Amino acid sequence: MKKFFLCGVMAATLALASCTTTQLDDTIQRSLPVTCKLIETGHLSFVAATAAGDISQRTIDKELAAYTAIAPICANPESVTVATALPLAVQAYVVISKAMKEAKE
């Protein structure tokens, strides 16, 4: 999942390099549901792992903060711009991925 997401972000970045802001915003709005689905899956997996594992409260708090930050954007993708969506989505995914890694240890 991590490789797929990072490859997707890199491909989107390269493909969008020559686009206008409006084109970028449209592209982000179209691709955001896929990204949000990956983040949602990671979050649900982490929540399940917290019930079964010995995960620090600090990690739980970080994961929840990342998920909470991206949730409004995922709930309303048509209001999102490239300036708001991309950094939050990448940050949320990285934090949730790290939390999942700790949960597996």
Per-residue pLDDT of the chain (105 residues; tens, 9 = 90+): 555 454 455 455 545 454 566 676 677 677 788 888 888 998 998 899 888 778 888 889 988 988 888 888 888 877 777 777 778 878 888 888 888 888 777
Q: Per the domain annotation, does 83 fall within a domain?
A: yes
Report yes or no on 97 lying in a domain.
yes
Residue 67 lies in a domain: yes
Q: Which domain holds residue 10?
A: 2-15+30-104
Q: Is residue 41 part of a domain?
A: yes
Task: Please check whether residue 60 lies inside any domain of the structure.
Answer: yes
What is the total count of domains within the chain? Answer: 1
Q: Which residues, 6 or more positions from 98, have their beta carbon under 8 angstroms from its beta carbon?
A: 59, 62
**Burial per residue of 44-55, b for 16 or more beta-carbon CB atoms within 10 angstroms, e otherwise:** ebbeebbeeeeb
Q: Is residue 84 part of a domain?
A: yes
Establish if 22 belongs to a structural domain: no
Q: Residue 63 CA to chain centroid, in angstroms?
A: 11
